[in-house]
Amino acid sequence: MVAAASVVLLIVAAVVGRAAEVDPNGYVIYCPCMGRFGNQMEQHLGAFHFAAVLGRTMVLPPLVGHEPRSTIAKMTAFEDVFQLAVIKKHFKSITLAEFQRDIAPRIWPKEQRKAFCWTPRKASNGGEETGEEPSCRAKDGNPFGPFWDHIGVEEFAESVFYGQTTGGFNVGSIKEKEKWMTSYPPSSFPVLAFVGAPATFPSQQKHWHYQKHFRYSTRITSRAKAFIEDRLERPFVGIHLRNDVDWARVCEHVDPSRNLFASAQCLGEPPQDVALSREMCLPSARTVLDQIVDAVGRSGAKSVFVASDRDHMIEEINEALSAYDVKAYKLDDNDAFVSLAVLELADEFIGNCVSTFSSVVSRSRAHKWNKPKASHFWGYRKLDTRPKIEL
């Protein structure tokens, strides 16, 4: 009995020892503080690449949510959204809880915590205090303050302006990688704590394949599959509508000669063949209904799933599809992650060319399976070459 207990204690000690090992190459942690999940996901791809090239361990950041009528951002644990085992298999990473418990107290004491930013940040209220030292103002504003509070950082002892010593995040370049390694070696900078993601926005096409490693948690996947089984008849068309007021403002900045947000997902990088149009960014009801009817007729779909940030157009879609005996459905709680999981599994997908939420789906459909699933986009007629079925 005593021998058995000793074995158990040795096993526990071994597990704890492994969990507490410090990576000599250091760690990367950053605030995914740019917008909602779609924008954050664009930068996750580049940030994970950045950490991997430098050989550092990624501290998996909580996802930043913005609840209606709340002035404080909500933090959701990374592992509550994505499958931790898959991430750890492909990226050297550690959960925030593990980092806080096992690593930070040993290598990142309060007096050595440095915030990294490109250049000094101005105060969120636009003001400056006379004689104040230049700073990253890492905790200034929402969601920055709530994020670092969640991390357990009361304040940073120092600010580091890496724009003075590096050329950015293109660590795929040997020269740029060497700049980071020599300017901020792990021995002196065990933790690179970035005020924002160490990645470009939007994501670069060469990093899109990383999306296949971001697989939704069992909870999210189970809910998505249950909804499909209970409410949707296959084959089904999944659509994403961006039509909130803030999105209309975004589409006012459409320039036919350049990409906007995630438009590289359908126009290419740089833009090729088709110029970006306002109709692709904020399609009219006519365009939406025409393309849905066309997709249903082309695929023989039996149902339609709608994800939207405001108007799901359920009644209009059902009326347009009445001749086909096909109906449209949406989630009762409009859960964004479950919606994404359902759209990934759709037999046909129509998304918004400019939307980063749509780009999460199009990348997943292109890279997660051995046989890629096609994605179509509102107003992008090059993808819809077959004769259109009239209403």
Residue 299 has pLDDT above 90, yes or no: yes
**Which domains, from first to last, does the chain contain?**
21-205 (3.40.50.11340), 217-383 (3.40.50.11350)
Average pLDDT over residues 285-297: 97
Long-range contacts of 225-230, Cβ-Cβ distance < 8 Å, separation of 24 or more: 225/345, 227/331, 227/338, 227/342, 228/305, 228/342, 228/345
Residue 127 has pLDDT above 80, yes or no: no
Distance between CA 146 and CA 108 in Å, rounded?
20
| pLDDT class of 278 with cuts at 50, 70, 90 | very high
Residues whose CB is less than 8 angstroms from the CB of residue 62 and which lie 6 or more positions away in sequence, other chains included: 75, 76, 77, 78, 96, 147, 150
Give residue 118's pLDDT. 94
Give residue 332's pLDDT. 95
| pLDDT class of 129 with cuts at 50, 70, 90 | low
Give residue 272's pLDDT. 76
Residue 385 has pLDDT above 80, yes or no: no
Give residue 387's pLDDT. 44
Radius of gyration of the chain (CA): 23
* Average pLDDT of the chain to the nearest whole number: 90
| pLDDT class of 124 with cuts at 50, 70, 90 | low
The CB density around residue 164, as the number of other CB atoms within 10 Å, is 9
Task: Decide if 114 contacts 153 (C-beta within 8 A).
Answer: no
Strands 158-161 and 303-308, by their bridges, are unpaired
Average pLDDT over residues 305-322: 97
Residues whose CB is less than 8 angstroms from the CB of residue 58 and which lie 6 or more positions away in sequence, other chains included: 27, 28, 29, 47, 48, 51, 52, 91, 92, 93, 94
Percentage of the residues of the chain whose pLDDT score is greater than 70 = 90
Average pLDDT over residues 175-181: 93
Residue 6 has pLDDT above 90, yes or no: no
Distance between CA 171 and CA 19 in Å, rounded?
28
Give residue 5's pLDDT. 46
Task: Decide if 293 contacts 237 (C-beta within 8 A).
Answer: no
Residue 68 has pLDDT above 90, yes or no: no
Average pLDDT over residues 322-337: 96
Residues whose CB is less than 8 angstroms from the CB of residue 153 and which lie 6 or more positions away in sequence, other chains included: 113, 138, 139, 193
- Which pTM was predicted? 0.89
Residues whose CB is less than 8 angstroms from the CB of residue 293 and which lie 6 or more positions away in sequence, other chains included: 320, 321, 324, 389, 391
Residue 8 has pLDDT above 60, yes or no: no
Residue 70 has pLDDT above 70, yes or no: yes
Distance between CA 115 and CA 22 in Å, rounded?
20
Please tell me which residue, 2 or 178, carries the higher pLDDT value: 178
Give residue 269's pLDDT. 84
Give residue 169's pLDDT. 87
Task: Decide if 262 contacts 202 (C-beta within 8 A).
Answer: yes
Average pLDDT over residues 163-183: 90
Closest by CA to 308, choosing from 260, 362, 350, is 350
